[in-house]
Structure 1
Amino acid sequence: MPILRVHRLAIAALLSLTLSSSAWANDVYIPVAGPMTGSTAALGAQIRDGATAAMNSINASGLLPDTKPILRIADDASDPKRAVAVANRLTADGIELVVGPFPSNSSTPASDIYTEAEVIQISPGSTNPRLTERGLTTLFRICRRDDQQGRGAADYIVRHHQGAKLAVLDDKGTAEGIADIVEPRLRAAGEHTGRQSDFAGEKEYTTRVSKLKREGLQIVYVGYYNEIDIILRQAAEAGARLTVIADDPLMSSGLLAIAGEAAKGTLITFMPDRTNNAAGAAAVARLKDSSLSAAGYTLYAYAAVQAWADSVKRAGSFDATPVAAALRSGLIETAIGTVRFDSKGDNAAPGFIVYGWRDNTVEAVEQN
């Protein structure tokens, strides 16, 4: 058994005493691991802001007596190798929870490190189904899965754009998973759908956009983030009348920075907006007081910290095994509403809504 694991088990044995015991550590380190730099830094900022606000609230409430959770920020720039390096560094330092990483291709390899070190991992935005299909007992996600998201997107297209000329694009990488859900569901509904898989990492799409225009495509489902803004702008410049439908990472104002007016009308699947719900009102107010937005993944990161703290309180321990059992044991009230984790660690709460970009903001179009 690794020395680190023996050390953590010894600590866990002490921490399993009652809440009034002096065994509760004064400082507990809780990192947010995710993209603080790079092309998805806007999404990393949402996760950081949500976790920070939740940690401040927990410390002010006294929920965990004689304990001060301290937030740490770890940048992996959405790079899987860096996510693994971050995980090795954080677990060597001794942590109890990690919020993140994001996206799934970073969360998946990092999760093996966190599991070995017996650290609770809760991702606010890693949606690939494979993440929680591997039987890792300390791994959770508070967002929903791509198999649910892909079905919702395909069904929306069929309901509202039946008979339109369609194409499904992916990046020959992380986006293939959700594209592999959307395309066959469209075909099963009788839609004639093309598939293209050669956009990853490019900066110039005029040739491809011209082809899409020449083919008379009306609806394009794009299952990845980094180049959508460029595609939208160049399609608008070429006069291509495309309606783009994309998945959850597009829920960021960063889209507007490059696409500008061309982003209008773009459709996105994302989890339900909780900013106007009673459950999230206090969290939204705290964020607003700090001049922070509650958009996108922010409240989901906030809820991840809440769920962990609630489970630590009920377990009477920081040890990952009883905390994981407490996370799965019933309903947890959070800023996104009631959360219930299933045996795989997935959130069984309601799934995805279709949103549209309108006048520099997003609004719900239809609930799936």
Structure 2
Amino acid sequence: LGKRLELLAIDDQCSDGVAVSTAQMLTILKQKNIKLVVGPYCANSFDKIADIYAKGQLFQIIPTTVNYTQAKTIKKGLVKMLGYTNQQAKDFFDYYNSNMAGSQVAVIYNSEDAESSEEAKAISEEFRKHGKSVVLTSYTYEATNKDYKKLAAQVLADGNAAAFVLGYPKNIRKMAYALKDRSNDAAVFVNKYTAGSEFFEYMDGLIEGVYFMALRGKEDDPEFAETLVKLRLNGFDADGLSLYGYSAVNLWKSLVNAAKSFDYNKVSNQAAKGVKTEFGSQMFHNGAPSTSESYAIYRYENGNMNKVY
């Protein structure tokens, strides 16, 4: 609509308290006339935050996948742009079935963390659906009182050739390190985003051969190619979640243009009707897309992230 946008970046540190206080602040920051919130990227009291933004009539787009509990949250003006995290379980199983079929697999998670517990449950369900429950064993950090070395020894002694490590960033890096330190041949899988920025430094020389699951980059999407070139020509090296953040803003722009208004209610109604964006047509039922974004798998080798799936 010819209006210039101002970007306000806020780091909520994946903290529930900071995320909630940020939502409360943004709804009363009248002088900024905020129309769109992209995020949060972490679970961060999802229901409570979505409720705050809905009551404050701030349109909210989640630029990453959401878990089962978050999927049940339906608010006007809330769009879960990429679908659900259970897609990660499906893609992990597909890779396992094609490349490691028959091998024993461990899924290690934090039973005190609802998000990793749900992810572990989704993986277990995926193996069960395909009649492969016998090869999958679940472990919790609490079973060994967060003694990562002891748990690593148990996981490997049980004959597991691969392990999907879930939990908080601290859990993931300590568990991955303990596994690789005990057996460099162990196939360790982590979610790139959940593992956090400190993962690479913490793993040091043991990072070789670690598998990273991440949302598929739009680099291979022909509908995104022209946009990607423009971004790079302007000095923006877009990759990973930053591309999905950019896509979220463009989705909102398309909704605003289609609704011919910045009005919260009109834009929300337009999301339900569907909209044509520069990346294809999109429609959201109860704030969710018709299909979930799939995951890619990368293996760290000789300083490079090589796509293997």
TM-score (norm 1): 0.73
- Given that 2:35 and 2:262 are in contact with CA atoms closer than 8 Å, whether structure 1 keeps it comes out as yes
Output the CA distance in 1 between the equivalents of 2:195 and 2:294.
12
Tell me the alpha carbon deviations over residues 262-297 of structure 1, each in whole angstroms, 9 at most, x when there is no partner: 333333333322124343334434543465432211
- Given that 2:166 and 2:172 are in contact with CA atoms closer than 8 Å, whether structure 1 keeps it comes out as no
Corresponding residue for residue 177 of structure 1: 118
Deviation at 1:350, TM superposition (A): 5.6
Tell me the alpha carbon deviations over residues 51-84 of structure 1, each in whole angstroms, 9 at most, x when there is no partner: xxxxxxxxxxxxx22x221111222111112211
Structure 1: which 5+ runs fail to align? 1-63
Deviation at 1:351, TM superposition (A): 2.8
Output the CA distance in 2 between the equivalents of 1:325 and 1:185.
35
Corresponding residue for residue 355 of structure 1: 297
Which amino acid is 1:113 matched to? I
Corresponding residue for residue 342 of structure 1: 284
Corresponding residue for residue 158 of structure 1: 97
1:1-368 → structure 2 map (5 Å cutoff): 64-65=1-2, 67-94=3-30, 95-172=34-111, 173=113, 174-188=115-129, 189-192=131-134, 193-198=136-141, 205-224=148-167, 226=169, 227-239=171-183, 241-247=185-191, 249=193, 254-289=198-233, 291-334=235-278, 337-338=279-280, 340-349=282-291, 351-359=293-301, 360-366=303-309
Output the CA distance in 2 between the equivalents of 1:283 and 1:258.
35
Output the CA distance in 1 between the equivalents of 2:90 and 2:167.
16
* 2:93 partner SS: helix
Tell me the alpha carbon deviations over residues 101-138 of structure 1, each in whole angstroms, 9 at most, x when there is no partner: 02123433211100111111001124213323232121
Corresponding residue for residue 35 of structure 1: none
CA RMSD of aligned residues (A): 2.6
- Given that 2:299 and 2:308 are in contact with CA atoms closer than 8 Å, whether structure 1 keeps it comes out as no
Output the CA distance in 1 between the equivalents of 2:168 and 2:100.
23
Do the aligned partners of residues 249 and 168 (structure 1) sit closer, same or farther apart at CA in structure 2, a change above 3 Å counting? Answer: same
- Given that 2:39 and 2:63 are in contact with CA atoms closer than 8 Å, whether structure 1 keeps it comes out as yes
Which amino acid is 2:243 matched to? L
* 2:224 partner SS: helix
Do the aligned partners of residues 203 and 71 (structure 1) sit closer, same or farther apart at CA in structure 2, a change above 3 Å counting? Answer: farther
* 2:138 partner SS: strand
Structure 2: which 5+ runs fail to align? none
* 1:206 partner SS: helix
* 2:298 partner SS: strand
Answer with 149-158 or 170-179: which moved more: 149-158
- Given that 1:266 and 1:357 are in contact with CA atoms closer than 8 Å, whether structure 2 keeps it comes out as yes
* 1:75 partner SS: coil
Output the CA distance in 2 between the equivalents of 1:316 and 1:246.
43
- Given that 1:225 and 1:249 are in contact with CA atoms closer than 8 Å, whether structure 2 keeps it comes out as no
- Given that 2:106 and 2:160 are in contact with CA atoms closer than 8 Å, whether structure 1 keeps it comes out as yes
Output the CA distance in 2 between the equivalents of 1:171 and 1:179.
9
Output the CA distance in 2 between the equivalents of 1:137 and 1:213.
47
Aligned length: 299
* 1:167 partner SS: strand
TM-score (norm 2): 0.85
Corresponding residue for residue 17 of structure 1: none
- Given that 1:144 and 1:271 are in contact with CA atoms closer than 8 Å, whether structure 2 keeps it comes out as no
* 1:332 partner SS: strand
Which amino acid is 2:148 matched to? Y
Of all paired residues, the percent bearing the same amino acid is 21
* 2:289 partner SS: coil
